[in-house]
Amino acid sequence: MKTVLTRPVAGQKAGTSGLRRQTRDFMVPGFLENYVQSILNGIGGAAGKTFVIGGDGRYFNQEAIQTILRMAAANGAEKMIVGQNGLLSTPAASHLIRLHGTDGGFILSASHNPGGIDADFGLKFNMPNGGPATEAVTDAIFAQTTNISEYYIAEAGDIDLATLGQTSLAAMQISVVDPVADYVALMQTLFDFDEIRVLFAGGFRMTFDAMHAVTGPYAKAVLEDMLGAAPGTVINGTPLPDFGGGHPDPNPIWAHELMGIMTGPGAPDFGAASDGDGDRNMIVGRGAYVTPSDSLAVIAANAHLAPAFADGVVGVARSMPTSGAVDRVAAAKGMDCFETPTGWKFFGSLLDAGKVRLCGEESAGTGADHLREKDGLWAVLIWLNIIAKTGKSVSELMTDHWAAYGRNYYTRHDYEAVESATAATLMQELEDRLPDLAGQGFAGLTVQSADVFAYDDPVDGSRTTGQGIRIRFDKDARAVLRLSGTGTKGATIRLYLERLETRGDKLHLDAQTALAEVIAATDEITGIAARTGRKGPDVRT
User: Number of C-alpha atoms within 13 angstroms, CB side, residue 455?
Assistant: 25
Query: Left (φ > 0), alpha (ψ -120 to 50) or beta: where does 23 sit?
Result: alpha
User: Number of C-alpha atoms within 13 angstroms, CB side, residue 514?
Assistant: 23
Beta-bridge mates of residue 447: 473
The C-alpha atoms of residue 71 and residue 385 are separated, in whole angstroms, by: 43
The C-alpha atoms of residue 466 and residue 210 are separated, in whole angstroms, by: 35
Enumerate the active-site residues.
111
Cα–Cα distances (Å) from 337 to 177, 328, 347, in that order, read: 38, 9, 12
The C-alpha atoms of residue 144 and residue 13 are separated, in whole angstroms, by: 10
The C-alpha atoms of residue 357 and residue 353 are separated, in whole angstroms, by: 10
Beta-bridge mates of residue 441: 446
In this structure, which amino acid lies at residue 170?
A: A
Among 395, 392, 372, 374, smallest CA distance to 384 is for 392
Among 221, 199, 226, smallest CA distance to 305 is for 199
Residue 261: partners with Cβ closer than 8 Å, 6 or more residues away? 207, 267, 268, 271
The pLDDT value given to residue 485: 56
Intra-chain end-to-end CA distance of the chain, in Å: 50
What 3 state SS string does 490-520 have? CEEEEEEEEEEECCHHHCCCCHHHHCHHHHH
Beta-bridge mates of residue 224: none
> Would you tell me the crossing angle of helices 394-405 and 292-302 to the nearest 10 degrees?
80
H helix count then E strand count, the chain: 18, 27
User: Number of C-alpha atoms within 13 angstroms, CB side, residue 499?
Assistant: 22
Tell me how many degrees the CA angle 453-456-458 measures, rounded to the nearest 5. 140
Backbone angles phi, psi at 380, to 5 degrees: -65, -45
The C-alpha atoms of residue 140 and residue 15 are separated, in whole angstroms, by: 12
Instruction: State if pTM tops 0.85.
Output: yes
Cα of 214 vs its chain's centroid, Å? 14
CA trace torsion 427, 432, 436, 439 (10° rounding): 20
The C-alpha atoms of residue 349 and residue 477 are separated, in whole angstroms, by: 30
Among 479, 290, 367, smallest CA distance to 131 is for 367
The pLDDT value given to residue 243: 96
Tens place of pLDDT per residue across the chain (541 aa): 666 655 544 444 444 457 999 999 999 999 999 999 999 999 999 999 999 999 999 999 999 999 999 999 999 999 999 999 999 999 999 999 999 999 999 999 999 999 999 999 999 999 999 999 988 899 999 999 999 999 999 999 999 999 999 999 999 999 999 999 999 999 999 999 999 999 999 999 999 999 999 999 999 999 999 999 999 999 999 999 999 999 999 999 899 999 999 999 999 999 999 999 999 999 999 989 999 999 999 999 999 999 999 999 999 999 999 999 999 999 999 999 999 999 898 999 999 999 999 999 998 899 999 999 999 999 999 999 999 999 999 999 999 999 999 999 999 999 988 999 999 999 999 999 999 999 999 999 999 999 999 999 999 898 999 999 999 999 999 999 998 755 556 789 999 999 999 999 999 999 999 999 999 999 999 999 888 888 888 888 8
Among 116, 120, 125, 118, smallest CA distance to 90 is for 125
